Amino acid sequence: MIKSLHKRESALANSKRQLEILSNGIFQYGDLPTFKNKIAETGQFPLKAKKLEILQINVGYMCNQVCAHCHVDAGPDRKEIMSKETMEQCLEVIKNTEAHTLDLTGGAPEMNPNFRWFVEEAAKVGIKDFIVRSNLTIIKANKKYHDLPEFFKKYNIHVVSSMPHWTRGKTDKQRGEGVFNTSIEALKMLNSVGYGMPNSPLRLDLVYNPSGAFLPGNQASMEMDFKKALKEDFDIQFHNLFAITNLPISRFLDYLIASENYEDYMYELVEAYNPAAVENVMCTNTLSVSWDGYLYDCDFNQMLELPINGKTKHISEYNETLLEGRDIVISQHCYGCTAGAGSSCQGTVA
Ligand code: SF4
Ligand code: SF4
């Protein structure tokens, strides 16, 4: 198992170093336009937050996996976990927000010792779409997680899970040896309680992200390929596939630099820039809360430690009205959200 950038004490574990790389070189000398200048060409700068629709809460960076391209730099060695006190502050906001979607992420959110309590409390509020981003293997990682499918079902959780490919080789290469087989077993467990079945209200969606320095293909045709292969090979069903572009931050940035693909990848992202995708990038209707309660425009900005541009900085001083209309904090990593059909936690946006 590889180690997180933090554990390896890599220079890239420092978000400032990542931001320097994203601002220097090809962007500093004008070979490529900065994201700010690019969106200004079509009158889309500054990027403004609209009405909040999705509240995304990161309950900790601890994970049972150490995927090669993880933008969180998550792993078993990460100890940042949301406290019960911060969860209580989040619950106050969940009760009062007009957002229709609550999205719990990590790391592996299930590894937070207060995860189940938090889900039970948050579910009482009755938010329309309650998402948990589960990496699948956690369900099989330890006996205490084996009942997660039943637990998710009890609270009508919408499960969203990464599955980079329908073949063992490509999945294990990105997510670690043995991840494919364990993910298949976990998907079968989810299917067996009703998740992902046609017409079932128990939503099971999968997330695809490319295994190298290239952009995802067409989301709809990939969904068909995934559905066909998983049904034929394993009798597994799911609802939708979200195709996500890897953003050049954290472990994917480390991979791009180590494989000498960084500049080519940035050229590819800029060439695929789609102004129509800018309108719907997820930061315009989403707010991200970190494990220690700070507010960010998105999970990527959270990992780059780019705090929100607003009067309220922490969940304890949350004010939805003050956050609406704020200027979104951007940098060159944002090109990952606007390439081709665009990319967000919910897949393509344009
Ligand atoms: S499962 Fe998710 S959070 Fe965990 S290392 Fe992989 S990509 Fe990161
Ligand atoms: S990286 Fe975050 S801030 Fe930048 S465009 Fe994407 S969602 Fe918005």
Q: What was the pLDDT predicted at 2?
A: 80
Report the C-alpha gap between 138 and 123 in whole angstroms: 21
How does the average pLDDT of the chain come out, rounded? 94
Would you say residue 343 has pLDDT above 80?
no
Q: What is the pLDDT of residue 341?
A: 76
Q: How confident is the model at residue 311 (pLDDT cuts 50, 70, 90)?
A: confident
Q: What is the mean pLDDT of residues 154-167?
A: 94
pLDDT tens digit sequence for 75-118: 999 999 999 999 999 999 999 998 999 999 999 999 999 999 99
The pLDDT value given to residue 25 = 87
Q: CA-to-CA distance for 112 and 80, rounded, in angstroms? A: 10
Residue 261 has pLDDT above 90, yes or no: yes
Q: Residue 257, class by beta-carbon neighbours within 10 Å (0-12 exposed, 13-18 middle, 19+ buried)?
A: middle
Report which protein residue has its CA nearest ligand 2's atom 4.
Answer: 334
Q: Is the pTM of this model over 0.85?
A: yes
Of 302, 340, 262, 291, which is closest to residue 71 (Cα–Cα)?
302
**Ligand number with the minimum distance to the CA of 339:** 2
pLDDT number for residue 348? 66
Mean predicted confidence (pLDDT) in 242-255: 96
pLDDT (average), residues 273-281:
92
Residue 212's identity, in one-letter code, is G
Q: What mean pLDDT is predicted for residues 156-169?
A: 94
> 129: part of which helix (H) or strand (E)?
strand 129-133
For residues 253 and 21, what is the distance between their CA atoms, to the nearest angstrom? 9
- Cα–Cα distance for residue pair 38/44, rounded to 1 Å: 9
Whose CA is closest to atom 7 on ligand 1?
70
Own/partner contacts of 149-154, CB < 8 Å, gap of 24 or more, are 149/189, 149/190, 149/192, 149/193, 149/195, 150/193, 151/116, 151/119, 152/190, 152/195, 152/202, 153/193, 153/194, 153/195, 153/202
Rounded Cα distance between 8 and 19, Å, is: 19
Q: Is 107 in the pocket of ligand 1 (CB under 6 A)?
A: yes
Six-digit token pair at 257?
């630099």
- Quick check: 257 pLDDT over 90? yes
Specify the higher pLDDT residue, 174 or 292.
292
More confident residue, 211 or 200: 200
Residue 88, token pair as written in the block? 């209580």
Do 201 and 252 form a contact (C-beta atoms < 8 A)?
Answer: no
pLDDT band for 346, please (50, 70, 90 cuts).
low
Please tell me the number of the ligand nearest to residue 179's CA.
1
Q: Give 33-57 pLDDT, tens digit per residue.
A: 999 999 999 999 999 999 999 999 9
Give the pLDDT mean for 184-210: 97
The answer, yes or no, to whether residue 318 has pLDDT greater than 80, is: yes
From 61, 67, 111, 140, the mutation candidate for ligand 1 (largest count of ligand atoms within 8 A of CB) is 67
The per-residue b/e assignment along 30-60, b for 16 or more CB within 10 angstroms, e otherwise, is: eebbbbeebbeeeeebebebeebbbbbbbbb
Mean pLDDT value of segment 298-317: 95
The partner residues of 314 in beta bridges, in order of sequence, read 294
Q: Is the pLDDT of residue 342 over 80?
A: no
Cβ(136) – ligand 1 distance below 6 Å: no
DSSP sequence for 259-311: TT-HHHHHHHHHHTB-HHHHTT-GGGTEEEE-TTSBEESSHHHHHTT---SSS
Give first-to-last CA distance, the chain, whole Å. Answer: 37
Q: pLDDT band for 148, please (50, 70, 90 cuts).
A: very high
pLDDT of residue 7: 94
Q: CA geometry: angle at 332 spanning 327 and 334, to 5°?
A: 60
Residue 69 has pLDDT above 80, yes or no: yes
Cβ burial of 113 (10 Å; 0-12, 13-18, 19+) is: exposed
Mean pLDDT to the nearest integer, 277-306? 96
Ligand 1 centroid distance, CA of 161 (Å): 10
pLDDT at 164: 86
Whether 249 shows a pLDDT value over 90: the answer reads: yes
Residue whose C-alpha is closest to residue 160's, from 122, 208, 118, 97 = 208
**Residue with CA closest to ligand 2 atom 2:** 298
Residue 258: which region, alpha, beta or left (left: phi > 0; alpha: psi -120 to 50)?
alpha
